[in-house]
Structure 1
Amino acid sequence: MTPNPAVPAAVATAAAEAYPRIVGALIRLTGDWDLAEDCAQEALAAALQRWPSTGVPDNPAAWLMTTARNRAIDVLRRASVERSKLQDLAVLSDEGPAADSHGFPDDRLRLIFTCCHPALPLEARVALTLRTICNVRTPDIARAFLVTEATMTRRLTRAKTKIAQAGIPYRVPQGPDLTERLPGVLGVLYVLFTNGYNPDGTPAFADEAIRLARLLRTLLPTLSPAPDTGEVTGLLALFLFQHSRRRARRAPDGRLLTLEQQDRSRWDWDAIAEARALLDGAGEGPYSWQARIAAFHATTGDTDWAGVAACYDALWKQQPTPVIALNRAFAHGYAFGPAEGLALLAAARAGGALDGWPHAVAAEADLTARLGDHARAADLFREAASLAHSPAERDALLERAAARIGEPSAQGQGAVCVPIASAKAATAGCWAAPAR
């Protein structure tokens, strides 16, 4: 039989929508995370095997739910578990995830809030979200966190065990509890996007973060009382602004390009338009301010650095972290002169929190060059390159150093922009609002 290329695509599309619903429903009914994931995976495998001959069903998500449910019933029956679990599974309608009467949308929210519970370490929350909600393979998660697959498997197992043993409720918190927990959920999505945004990250993670942000923004208003979704909206806008430049961030030879070097015709202007529209409903929290900063860069003209600096001033009042201080100093240097930027940068580095961080040295190099001391700037760019986290960043900084001492450079230079940290660093709290 000739393989039908449409089947894998149909399975992938159905999985993106149905996987968290299936896993969430089975966890709710059985309390067994591994069983839920295994049955969901087996349903996807069955679809890849059967759909080429039977055709893609009219309701692929319902087919997957029914198949996963039947597999769970078989496993539980062979294990001779209590009758109540089998009865609960048996009453799931064959309409599957499309049936709101069984609470499937709430199951997705329950799953998100359980995976992101503050009782779990932040790295475990991120990993569990990727594995359970996004269906990302454990080896891919391990690579994102720079650990072995066996280590990540143990971390995931410990997280699930803690949920069971600590009695972490599988539910969406209500009222003030929801307001308190929501920033933690958004923080996990921010880290997911970070890993997809970084030069050495996993691009698919950024797409998953955008998908989950959209999902949250859709489902939270269905709760009663509905929470304020301003920061969810701001986070989604930030993701869209940043991701809109993904095709233009590298030259054909793989070099990282600064904002001014990028071919803006390659930006996703539809995503930028959507993000700008979302800003009308954004809040006044950190993610919304970062989105407004990104909006100033998403233009065909010159960046309004005074506007960027004003946003960083507001962001600094809410999050006076070293990385925000670094970004703020850089913005002030471009808005009001390099001397002011260097003064703020010196203050940001005074406590030692930015020691060894290449972007702090690169920011000093850029502002020093704007003062006219090109020899000093070249030395600083080389120092930053020696601290770089990836070959692409190192090469970009060495190119800047070469340009400052008169060596040929491929393109004109632009502002050094502080990127969001790696997935591992971001879980340690290294937040930033990049312009690259």
Structure 2
Amino acid sequence: MDTGNTAFVLLSAALVMLMTPGLAFFYGGMVRVKSVLNMLMMSFICLAVVTVLWVLYGFSMAFSTDAFGGLVGNLDWYGMRDIGLSELWDGYTVPVTAFAIFQLMFAIITPALISGAVADRVKFVSWAVFVALWVTIVYFPVAHWVWAADGWLFKKGVIDFAGGTAVHINAGIAALALVLVVGKRVGFKRDPMRPHNLPFVMLGCGLLWFGWFGFNAGSWLGADGVTARAAINTQICTAAAVLGWLALEKIRDGHFTTLGAASGAVAGLVAITPACGALSPMGSIALGIVAGAVCAWAVGLKYKLGYDDSLDVVGVHLVGGIVGSIAPGLLATGKIQSDAEGLFYGGGTEQLVKQLTAVGAVLAYSFVATYVIAVLIQKTIGFRVSEDDEVNGIDQVEHAETGYDFASLGGSVGRPSATVGAGAGIATETTETKVDA
């Protein structure tokens, strides 16, 4: 056991844990006033549900000895039993328990990413059930494919340093499947649904950016030159993606927005996740610019194609994850985490084919499995709140709370009508003071 590496992995786990509250603020600021608490809770419940399932069987399914030809682990470690204090993880210098808590934080944030796609309209209990079923049927097996020593994608030589396939493509395509089942928000493409608190968005983005150093660099499970390269590539690609997003936004819309800057940063973080241990700094700049611009373009697809992805999970995480997962097949230098070289570094198409195989496999499995899970929940306990409850505010209905006490501002707060829902934070004059939700 190396105490320095162990301390680094435990610190990285804490950084990744912070990303889930960061995501909650990032998403929470993007929704309307009447949904902010529900959005925060959809992330926080993942911390509770996934942790318990991880201990019961999730860690064993993802990382114990293979049970079905590289598809899923067995249950030898159910309840995390028989793991000694000094037992090391699979050839590394850190304890199994340090690796387990680090990987737990990945399992927590992945379903939380999906929550932004169905903001404003799903029952909280249905969401909690979905999280439990989804991590069991989708996330734990896919994590085994990608990161377990006997997972089929790992053995094939796929490069996924920290989760482009297992986390971002997995969550992004699941978000698309889920919104197709759940349906559109009331007023989609008709009513303005602007973010109610852009400072929350920027705060959440900052916490995500900070925590992502643990997410990426910590995935090497040690502190050395590869760790440092993963960390600096994370910073470089994210910065470049901000510029790429803002440039496209200026060309297309004529202005730079804070929401665009935050979204561009997240797009860059997503894209560099699988590739941070394979690219040069210049390759990271190229990846960031491309990812920022492509994701900025992709978020508009929901209006053209008619699916209601509330907070652009598909446009950022699915598209960014695909771009980043393909990048090692093109830009891997062969001099950092492994000797695998991309097409532009003389490696031919071999690594690119491996990367495309992983992308296609995760896309297909996650979409089909998520769609089936969502339909089962829809047909049994139901996924959506009623239309009246959605219009009047899901925070009050599902949590008996509101994010802001407008009554303390003076005057009375009336019940919002169906016509009051556009333009977060704008007061509307009627027979009594109403607050636009």
In the superposition, the TM-score normalised over structure 2's length comes to: 0.31
Larger radius of gyration: 1
Q: Bigger relative contact order, structure 1 or 2, given CA contacts below 8 A and separation 6+?
A: 2
